[in-house]
Structures are given as C-alpha cells and as structure tokens.
Structure 1
C-alpha cells in the first residue's frame, strides 16, 4: 500500500510540475521549446504516477471494498463513473492514453 510519505512526495512533484507550467504561461519567452516539452512531460508523468499508485492500491482490496470505494467518487459527480473506472480499474485516465508523448 502507498504510504503517506510517498503519497505526499508524489503530490509535491505533481504540484511542482504544474507550478512550473504556470510560470511558462506567465512568461513563455523565458523558456525554450525543449524546456516547455520537459515541463509538459513532467506534468503528465507526475499525474500518471499518482494514478498508477492509486490503481495498484485499489487492486489489492477485496471485491466488496472495491465496489464500495468505487461507488463513492462515482456518486460525487466529480468526473464520470467511467473516468473513475478507467483510473481505478482500467488503464488510467484516458487523457494519458490519447495524447502522443512529446518527443
């Protein structure tokens, strides 16, 4: 299971990646194209890493607990039930599957 310290580290990495992206939005001329690509990759990678960890932890739960846990976010109205299914059971957020990685 994902421990609290590791989760916090992953959330900090994601927050830093998104903060850097905000800086690019504020001052795009301060960044080269390669730097912008790297920041974009870090955003995708950090978000995907959190989802991967969530999916791994979810998979370790018994079926009854999985069902109850999946029902909660689905009922929240935050994202669609299909999105939660993809993230917790499937292959992750469809966004990461549909976008081609920047080279």
Structure 2
C-alpha cells in the first residue's frame, strides 16, 4: 500500500500544478508560451502520478477487498458498475 506521506506529496504536487494553471488563466499575458506549455505538462504529469499511485494501491488489494471497494463506489453513486 502506498504510504500516506508519499500520497500527500503527490496530491500536493497536483494541487500546485492546478494552482499555477489557475494563475495563468487569471493573467495569461504574464506567461510566455513556453511557460504555459510547462504548466500544462506539469498538470498532466501530476494527475498521471496520482492515478498511477491509486492504481498501484488498488492492485495490491486482495480480490475480495477490490470487490468490496468497487461495490462501495457503486453504492455511493460516485461510479457506476459500467465504470
């Protein structure tokens, strides 16, 4: 299982990437095209890191625990069985 400290670091990195994007949207003329590209790439990389960590964590669960987690997600309305 992924440790809490690593997950906090990854999610904070993602939040910072999206914060920078918000700043860029607020004042786009303050950023060069290269900086805007870097911000977009950082957002993609950060979100990908979060998803990969979640996937790795899910794959380490037992089949029974996976089924229970998926059932809970479906029951909460967050996801559907088709997902």
Q: Could you tell me the TM-score, scaled by structure 1's length?
A: 0.73
Corresponding position of 1:56: 56
Which consecutive residues of structure 2, in runs of 5 or more, have no partner in the other structure? none
Which consecutive residues of structure 1, in runs of 5 or more, have no partner in the other structure? 84-103
4+ residue runs over 6 A deviation? none
Between the aligned partners of 1:74 and 1:38, the Cα distance in structure 2 is: 36
Q: Identify which of structures 1 and 2 has the higher relative contact order when contacts are C-alpha pairs closer than 8 Å and 6+ apart.
A: 2
Corresponding position of 2:65: 65
What is the deviation of 1:60? 1.0
Counterparts of 1:12-51 in structure 2, within 5 Å, are: 12-51=12-51
Question: Could you say what the CA RMSD is over the residues aligned between the two structures, in angstroms?
Answer: 1.4
Q: 1:27 to 1:79 in 2, by over 3 A?
A: farther
